[in-house]
Amino acid sequence: MKPSKKDRKIMIIHGPNLNMLGKREPEIYGKETLGEINAKLEELAEKLDIDVETFQSNYEGKIIEKIQSASGGSGICKGLIINPAAFTHTSIAIRDALLLLDIPIIEIHLSNIYKRESFRRKSMIADVVTAQISGFGVQGYIIALNAIAKM
């Protein structure tokens, strides 16, 4: 029997202020809204015959609970794509939560974090994820989903 799409679920987590995409520093983050980005990812998932769940929060604890939910129970996921936004540079707690997971994890940033202020050049999670994509704008999410679907 062909496994159901639900058995090939990828979680996509967007961190703080990414709900303001479109309005927020468009010269850095682009003009597309988070809704438009999620719609593109859902469309691609359909083509790839996988299931995606998208989630955004401005709260560190909610992001941690979502990461924890990816590792067990009925919501078990086969991969995680995460843009922790500003928490990338500060959150040991998100790093620790990611260490719970035994699935491919792709860290993604719309902007090239290495080309910006020095405080953005440090990622607390870069050394615990499978791969990092930084600087491709929205295209980075498309690259990440295509890649993780094959993993």
Cβ pair 14, 54 in contact under 8 A: yes
What burial class does residue 105 get, using C-beta atoms within 10 Å of its C-beta: 0-12 exposed, 13-18 middle, 19+ buried? buried
- Decide if residue 17 touches ligand DQA (CB under 6 A): yes
Q: Does 113 bind ligand DQA (CB under 6 A)?
A: yes
> Which of 14, 59, 89, 109 is an active site residue?
109
Instruction: Decide whether 30 or 79 has the Cβ nearer to ligand DQA.
Output: 30
85 binds ligand DQA (CB under 6 A): yes
CA–CA dist 9, 108 (Å, integer): 18
Instruction: Read off the tokens for 89.
Output: 């540079």
Among 9, 66, 95, 109, contact with ligand DQA (rule: CB under 6 A): 109
Cβ contacts of residue 44 below 8 Å, gap of 6+?
142, 145, 146
Q: Which of 80, 94, 110, 129 contacts ligand DQA by CB under 6 A? A: 110
- Tell me whether residue 89 is one of the annotated catalytic residues: no
- Tell whether residue 148 is a contact of ligand DQA (CB under 6 A): no
Query: Which among 117, 147, 119, 118 is positioned nearest to 132, based on CA atoms?
Result: 147
| Beta carbon nearer to ligand DQA, 46 or 119 | 119
Interface with ligand DQA includes 123 (CB under 6 A)?
Answer: no
Is residue 43 within 8 A of residue 49, CB to CB? The reply is no
| Distance in angstroms (rounded) separating the CA atoms of residues 63 and 65 | 5
Using CB under 6 A as the binding rule, whether residue 14 contacts ligand DQA is answered as: no
- The residues that touch ligand DQA, with contacts defined as CB under 6 A, are 17, 83, 85-86, 88, 109-111, 113, 120
Instruction: Give the active site residues.
Output: 29, 109
